[in-house]
Amino acid sequence: MSERTAVVTGASSGIGESTARRLARDGWRVLLVARREERLRALSDELRDSAYLAVDLTDEDAPSRVRARVDELWGRLDLLVNNAGWSERADFADGGYANVKRVMEINFDAVLRLTEALLPVLRGSAPSAIVNVSSIAGRVGRAKMGAYTSSKFALAGWSECLRMEEKAHRVHVGLVLPGFVSTEGFPQEQLTRSARTRWIVSTPDKVADAIVRAAEGKPEVAVPRPWALVPRLRYGLPGVARRLSG
């Protein structure tokens, strides 16, 4: 039986599910966290040495509930994968602050609150790791994606700071920056229906591989790797990047 333990949020589908499956294949014991209990139960039944907790991470008591489950199961934690997230497309003039607040609550605030609750366990289990799933949108803005982009920019910046702070405690902090990924929440239908753009859409399995690389010590991983050029273009040739993004 493996001694390595992991919490994966957003584990009921998409990137979270693929990450849980990948970790389980590698021998990890995994706690699956998401809102949809039926899906979590079905996945847990498939995976060896796994458990689940159905919880909305924006609930006030969510961090303490996850912490209590970790303590009950293992009393230690080697990896936290902060993957759960959401997006609502809208111009700021239409969606306003309310839209930004909703997206920030799950994509940023919930990550910080859960990490705060689990950080003492991660420190006590060190060497350990935290992997935060941001987005290429966390480096480059797009129209109608202000709420999502803001939350992912915030997550990327906070991850960089946390990496510096936790290095002395042997808690590695990795950041994963997916580009377009076809998932249940983000089907990318406009891109996948055309052969000209289908190639730029990645899969949850490839992001899961990137999460593993980040957990093993990479500070930042773009998926697919050529997307790492996008932020460089944004900062190296900002005029060109603005023209390309509209």
pLDDT digits (tens, 9 = 90+) for 15-48: 999 999 999 999 999 999 999 999 999 999 999 8
CATH code (residue 52): 3.40.50.720
| CA-wise closest residue to 205 among 38, 3, 25 | 25
Place of tokens 């289908």: 198
Domains of the chain: total: 1
State how far the Cα of 172 lies from the Cα of 217, in Å rounded to an integer. 7
The answer to whether residue 52 is catalytic is no
Are 52 and 43 a contacting pair, CB within 8 Å? yes
Amino acid identity for residue 151 in this structure:
S
Local mean pLDDT, 10-residue blocks, the chain (246 residues)? 87 94 96 97 95 97 98 98 86 88 96 98 98 84 84 95 98 91 58 52 86 96 69 58 53
Residue 204 belongs to domain spanning = 5-245
Place of tokens 């924006």: 58
Give the model's pLDDT for residue 19.
97
Sign of CA dihedral 50, 53, 54, 60: negative
The single residue of 52, 97, 148, 235 carrying the catalytic annotation is: 148
